[in-house]
Structure 1
Amino acid sequence: MSALVFIGAAVAEIAGCFSFWAWLRLDRSPWWIVPGIGSLCLFAYLLTLVDANHAGRAYAAYGGIYIATALLWLWLAEGARPDRWDVAGACVCLIGAAIILWGPRG
């Protein structure tokens, strides 16, 4: 369940941040930030649903999912295919996220 929440949070965060990118860097209408703000609020809410004992641990594990999702966004939304170094880096991050999230705690 945590993985799905993390993926949803990552998509919401990237979409929200992209709305500001579109407005400020791609000369889109300032109205782009309205759904962006809603998306960023959804992102923050979704992270509260993760089953973790501490917020910092949830955020750290989320980082790996965010990186992999950002590369998918790069490919699907922006049309730039990630290279092998992007994929390798994302794999390392996902392994790190899994260790943080599911590692045995004493």
Structure 2
Amino acid sequence: MRPSPGDLLVVDGRASVQFAGDRALTFRVVSVCDRPTYAGWVWLTGYVINRAGRATAKREVYVQLAGLHPAAIAPPAPRRQRNGDTGTSATGSASTHAAASPSRRRRRHWCHDRRNT
């Protein structure tokens, strides 16, 4: 199975020994690194999903493609709004305050920063 962004996967001991037993993860794929690795292995970036269906941590994992399998599809978790935040500005358009925050800027994945040498 070749994962793609948006896939919900179970990452367990079949994918890599570090995820065996109670260390297994439900993982939402954000990106798949296209840099060459050992045959049958891949770097994935994504979010660990808890039992409630919420993302709890962003991770990069190195796993065997043959060990990946789809997770049972859980319903999306309802999004909570902050107190007083309606999600729209005074003009009725969507709020962009989170996008402007420097702490929320997207960092580039390490495999995209490397140059071919």
TM-score w.r.t. length of structure 1: 0.25
* Structure showing greater relative contact order (alpha-carbon pairs closer than 8 Å, 6 or more residues apart): 1
Q: Which has the larger share of helix?
A: 1
From the two aligned structures, give the one with the greater strand fraction.
2
- TM-score, structure 2 normalization: 0.24
